């Protein structure tokens, strides 16, 4: 598998934000969002075996492990890596867009599905209405794989995207399906306070998701 970096840092997103974790960032991504903040993981990386990755993780001394990308499930060896990390006694979180099938993900893995809006490939701030548009890049059965121990998160740049998130989360019954539904602003594109006001006014059980690592370390890779 192609590995961009293995490092120890603070978990910046999701309900486990603030937790010390080891991170395994895999290379490759078929989605390539216009606002991606880890585009350096789209290509390249060092070819390592699952055993070599586990050995590097073990050297960091963390119980919590986050496997991310790029899109980690684009690598066919990722399910084997997840199983190996679980077998080594780790608590494993997988950050994925859901664009690849999730049926091979072990049940003990905590999934954070980063759901994409229909404007994911548009630069700038989306302003056109697309009521009822389905989420792009969502593999068949991805939502059905999720349970109460998992999370779905969205990132938005505009009110149009936020309104789509409200409609989709409600129609897909996400609040009943997963343990947390999070919404965060695209870094540098939307004032978090404005998004917080929208979340409060929605009167739905969303959680505000801020990228804690960005506030701490900026865009520095490996942090």
Q: Per the structure block, which two tokens stand in for 128?
A: 């056109």
Q: Per the structure block, which two tokens stand in for 47?
A: 């070819």
Sheet holding 64-68, edge to edge: 46-47, 2-10, 20-26, 64-68, 91-96, 110-114, 151-156, 180-185, 206-208
Average pLDDT over residues 199-211: 96
pLDDT at residue 127 in the model: 84
Given a cut of 80, is residue 213 above it in pLDDT?
no
Task: Give tens-digit pLDDT for 93-141.
Answer: 999 999 999 999 999 999 999 999 999 998 888 889 888 899 999 999 9
Task: Give tens-digit pLDDT for 153-172.
Answer: 999 999 999 999 999 999 99
Alpha-carbon torsion 67, 33, 103, 44, what sign?
A: negative
Q: Helix and strand tally (H, E) in the chain?
A: 7, 9
Bridge partners (DSSP) listed for residue 100: none
Q: Per the structure block, which two tokens stand in for 42?
A: 């789209």
pLDDT at residue 223 in the model: 66
DSSP 8-state secondary structure symbol assigned to residue 203: T
Angle at 186 between CA 11 and CA 14, to 5 degrees: 30
For domain 2-153, the question of CATH label 3.20.20.70 is answered with: yes
């Amino acid at each position: 598998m192609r590995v961009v970096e293995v490092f120890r840092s603070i978990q910046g997103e999701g309900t486990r934000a603030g937790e010390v974790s080891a991170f395994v960032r895999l290379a490759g991504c078929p989605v390539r969002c216009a606002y991606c903040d880890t585009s350096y993981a789209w290509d390249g990386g060092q070819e390592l075996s699952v055993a070599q990755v586990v050995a590097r993780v073990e050297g960091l001394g963390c119980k919590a492990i986050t496997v991310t990308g790029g899109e980690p499930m684009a690598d066919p060896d990722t399910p084997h890596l997840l199983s190996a990390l679980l077998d080594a006694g780790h608590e494993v979180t997988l950050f994925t867009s859901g664009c690849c099938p999730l049926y091979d993900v072990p049940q003990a893995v905590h999934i954070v599905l980063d759901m994409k809006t229909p404007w994911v490939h548009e630069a700038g701030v989306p302003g056109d209405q697309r009521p009822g548009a389905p989420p792009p890049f969502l593999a068949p059965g991805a939502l059905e794989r999720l349970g109460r121990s998992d999370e779905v998160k969205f990132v938005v740049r505009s009110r149009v995207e936020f309104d789509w998130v409200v409609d989709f989360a409600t129609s897909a019954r996400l609040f009943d399906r997963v343990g947390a539904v999070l919404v965060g602003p695209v870094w540098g594109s939307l004032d978090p306070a404005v998004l917080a006001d929208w979340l409060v006014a929605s009167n739905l059980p969303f959680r505000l998701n801020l990228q804690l690592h960005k506030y701490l370390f900026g865009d520095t890779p490996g942090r």
